[in-house]
Structure 1
């Protein structure tokens, strides 16, 4: 017998999305403390949905829970970025190749590119880009592979947001996304995988030029 996952209560979901948006716009900066009572007052809720939202965000890697420091926004540095992008480099191009080989629909990837182009801030753009990449790997036919990539996608969005604050290079990434999608829609799995690998590797190299080990 299988059980469906327990849905997140609406208040918790509201707080979760609000905190995530603040993190990805830089309103909550890396290393900043997140105090349950303060957040509850800001959002007009009890501490319970805030606590549950923070637990979920810790699970996705956007915040860190420490016995001594409490909850803080995750700090982004070259080591953290390298860990996240190593996983993506190993898994994401292969997942895209499988998606293309299966002739799966890429309509959601096309829609995500439109949303990224129309985004009003870094958070919306980052989340749209995250959805674009997910639309490339999700139909790969291997749920475990897709779930492994899902586990790092919020952290990848955080890396991109921090990097864009220093170097707003999203137009370059947007052109790369368009080319990846064009080749994918043409059915060229090897070339699409190669372009995606180069796209991921080049981004983190540009974002952290002083630390190239392992990238």
Structure 2
């Protein structure tokens, strides 16, 4: 099966999860998804395996695949990684310079449009792209991969947080301030603002989850 077919199915399922079209905890039946997407079961099976690796899908023993459910423990674990690693990665990326800030600015502009449309799925993915663009030039491929590996879960947690305590406009303002510091070459300031951005969102989410 061509990789492009699996990629298209993966993106369709990812978007359905992030829009809640596929609800948290919902079983993911290969045949049903294949019929829905107009493909065979093979790309669906491969996409579910990939989404399991990124955390959006879980496989239970003898129970098949289902949409992952965000709880306080998951959020703490993912955001612990981000809070520990991402500010330092961004600090290094700003010091190194490079074209990554233009990508971050483009993602931020598109996110403004998605926010105006009320498209939470698109906004969560652009939010993810904004963060990735900021740390992409850190110069350490292993650090980049570690952060990339949690980005799907971060997007799912973000959507859950926006449902529990809407704060997307606030986070856009924080993104703007982070990008402004990065473009000015203020690496330590960008890292500081990013750290507060990450922990602030987690605090609001945990409070909303009780």
- The TM tier, using the shorter chain, reads over 0.9
1:156-175 equivalences under 5 Å are: 156-175=154-173
1:93-104 equivalences under 5 Å are: 93-104=87-98
Give the structure 1 partner of residue 133 of structure 2. Answer: 135
CA distance in 2 between partners of 1:195 and 1:8 (Å): 42
Give the structure 1 partner of residue 177 of structure 2. Answer: 179
Q: 1:138 to 1:201 in 2, by over 3 A?
A: same
After TM superposition, which residue ranges in structure 1, 4 or more long, deviate above 4 angstroms?
none
CA distance in 1 between partners of 2:2 and 2:91 (Å): 33
CA distance in 2 between partners of 1:8 and 1:114 (Å): 33
Give the structure 2 partner of residue 110 of structure 1. Answer: 105
Q: How many residues align?
A: 206
Question: In the alignment, is residue 203 of structure 1 matched against residue 205 of structure 2?
Answer: no
Correspondent of 1:33 among 22, 27, 33: 27
Correspondent of 2:59 among 41, 61, 65: 65
- Please state which structure has a larger fraction of its residues in helix: 2
Shift of 1:155: 0.3
CA RMSD of aligned residues (A): 1.5
SS of the residue corresponding to residue 15 of structure 2 reads helix
Deviates more, 1:161-170 or 1:174-183: 161-170
Give TM-score, length-normalised by structure 1: 0.92
CA distance in 2 between partners of 1:112 and 1:133 (Å): 9
Give the structure 2 partner of residue 123 of structure 1. Answer: 121
Check whether the contact 2:164–2:208 (CA below 8 A) recurs between aligned residues. no
CA distance in 2 between partners of 1:191 and 1:179 (Å): 10
Structure 1 residues without counterparts, runs of 5 or longer: 1-6
Give the structure 1 partner of residue 5 of structure 2. Answer: 11
Structure 2 residues without counterparts, runs of 5 or longer: none
